[in-house]
Amino acid sequence: MFISTRSPLVPVVALGLAAAIFAVDALTPLDVAIAVLYVAVVLLSVAVWPRRGVIAVTGLCIALTLIAYGMSHGFAQNDAALARCLVSLAAIAITGFLALKGQAAALALLEREEALNQARGQLAHASRVSTLGELAASIAHEVNQPLAAIETHGEACLRWMNRPEPDLGEVRTAVQAMQRDARRASEVIRRIRGMASQSAPAFIALDVNEVVAESCDLLRRELQRHGAGLKLDLQSDLPAVKADKIQLQQVIINLVMNAAQAMAGAGARERRIEVRSFVDRGGDGQNGQHADAPAVVVEIADSGPGFAPDDLKRLFDAFFTTKQDGMGMGLPICRSIIESHGGAIRAWNRAPQGAAMAFRIPVAASAVELPA
């Protein structure tokens, strides 16, 4: 039966193995280096105890080896037995030394990986804040619209109240409209705060269509500024994915903005962006790409000039950009986010023109189809 190295049974197995080795070594007349088997006990200890524990176990195994030798041979001179004892002691000591080195290397690797994850998170946060800076005018417009409507409804409410006979029905309607617009402004601010916040990823069951709709809603004004039309083709009843909502929004906003900016920069006459969502059931994916497990796919396609062949190979390289004022970090960050979700992202040119990018995220293991 296989026992995980993290199982609470491991210390019991290690102690039992040490006791068995000691009993055989001390109480049987076998002319073999039984004590060499203590290396297994030392190796087991690495997965259970920290540095001091491994040192203690190594010392205990050495002590048991010496005690067993004393019980079996006493002070009688036996060169063969002494040689076996020395070989066993050397094996135990060397194993303990190498185990400590390996444990230290593993801990250092974990620390570097944690530092890398923190740096990746900080970079993604900086990218989100930079994106919000680009969307500042659009965000201001999105917030200003409901605020202006609140002011208009407030003035209307005062006029109805100042009549000789106030019309309470109209007043109620105006107040309800003010509440509705206030909620709309609050929702926009909530989304912006979520994008600007720097917090640990929260992987929860998400409806990808809802994330796509909210992300595109934030971009409406920006797309109008670039003269780009937007079409959503979202498959209903998508299964849930386990993902971080803010990070997915960051990827979608980045890809849609890239499409709009690419078409505007190339002077495309007809500027259309289509965002699709669908389920990839596995097997052969699009364009022959193999997909091992069911996944939700989000595809962003545009009617622009497409990617240059050389650029297509380098799109996800850090610091590579085709924009004059670009940093070349948007797409690498998107790839990092999607891969951290167990997914993949790719880009290709459409026929007869245009470019497309798509990312796929595996369906949650216990996903239940969400209502449309």
| CB distance 354 to 304 below 8 Å | yes
Residue from 186, 177, 175 nearest 143 by CA: 186
Please report the pLDDT score of residue 202 as a whole number.
79
Q: Name the residue type at position 15.
A: L
- What is the CA 176 to chain-centroid distance, rounded? 41
User: Which of 162, 177, 196 is the endpoint of a domain?
Assistant: 196
Look up the CATH number of the domain holding residue 220. Answer: 3.30.565.10
Give the residues across from 234 on adjacent strands.
277
Q: Which two tokens stand for residue 319?
A: 């610091």
Residues 168 and 213 in one domain: no
Residues 91 and 183 in one domain: no
Question: What angle do helix axes 168-196 and 79-134 make, rounded to 10 degrees?
Answer: 140
Let me know the angle formed at the C-alpha of 52 by 46 and 57, rounded to the nearest 5 degrees: 60
Indicate whether 3 belongs to any domain. Answer: no
Indicate whether 370 belongs to any domain. Answer: no
Residues 158 and 299 in one domain: no
Q: 3-state DSSP: the chain helix, strand, coil percent, rounded to 5? A: 60, 15, 25
Q: Which two tokens stand for residue 258?
A: 């890239």
Question: What angle do helix axes 136-162 and 168-196 make, rounded to 10 degrees?
Answer: 160
User: Which of 57, 84, 115 is the endpoint of a domain?
Assistant: 115
Please report the pLDDT score of residue 14 as a whole number.
87
CA-based torsion, 26, 31, 34, 36: positive or negative: positive
| CB distance 188 to 217 below 8 Å | no
Indicate whether 127 belongs to any domain. Answer: no
**What is the domain range of residue 326?**
204-362
Please report the pLDDT score of residue 198 as a whole number.
64
What residues of the chain score a pLDDT lower than 70?
1-7, 75-77, 127-128, 130-139, 141-142, 191, 194-199, 265-268, 283-292, 318, 320, 322-328, 366-372
Please report the pLDDT score of residue 324 as a whole number.
62
Residues 83 and 174 in one domain: no
Residues 154 and 212 in one domain: no
Residues 304 and 228 in one domain: yes
Question: What angle do helix axes 168-196 and 208-218 make, rounded to 10 degrees?
Answer: 100
Question: What angle do helix axes 79-134 and 38-46 make, rounded to 10 degrees?
Answer: 20
Indicate whether 371 belongs to any domain. Answer: no
User: Alpha-carbon distance 363 to 240, whole Å?
Assistant: 6
Residues 175 and 222 in one domain: no
| CB distance 299 to 275 below 8 Å | yes
- What is the CA 106 to chain-centroid distance, rounded? 22
Residue from 302, 300, 198, 184 nearest 246 by CA: 198
User: Which of 47, 81, 115 is the endpoint of a domain?
Assistant: 115
DSSP 82: H
Indicate whether 86 belongs to any domain. Answer: yes
Residues 191 and 231 in one domain: no
Indicate whether 372 belongs to any domain. Answer: no
User: Alpha-carbon distance 66 to 79, whole Å?
Assistant: 15
- Taking each continuous run of H as one helix and of E as one strand, the counts in the chain are 11, 9
- Count of structural domains within the chain: 3
Render pLDDT for 282-310 as a digit per residue (tens, 0 to 9).
754 444 444 567 899 999 999 888 888 88
Residues 43 and 140 in one domain: no
CA-based torsion, 341, 343, 346, 352: positive or negative: negative
Please report the pLDDT score of residue 271 as a whole number.
87
DSSP 364: P
- What is the CA 298 to chain-centroid distance, rounded? 17
Indicate whether 238 belongs to any domain. Answer: yes
Please report the pLDDT score of residue 180 as a whole number.
84
Residues 106 and 181 in one domain: no
- What is the CA 262 to chain-centroid distance, rounded? 27
Q: What are phi and psi of 276, to 5 degrees?
A: -115, 150
Instruction: Classify strands 355-362 and 204-206 as parallel, antiparallel or unpaired.
Output: unpaired
Residues 158 and 46 in one domain: no
Residues 293 and 149 in one domain: no
Indicate whether 46 belongs to any domain. Answer: yes
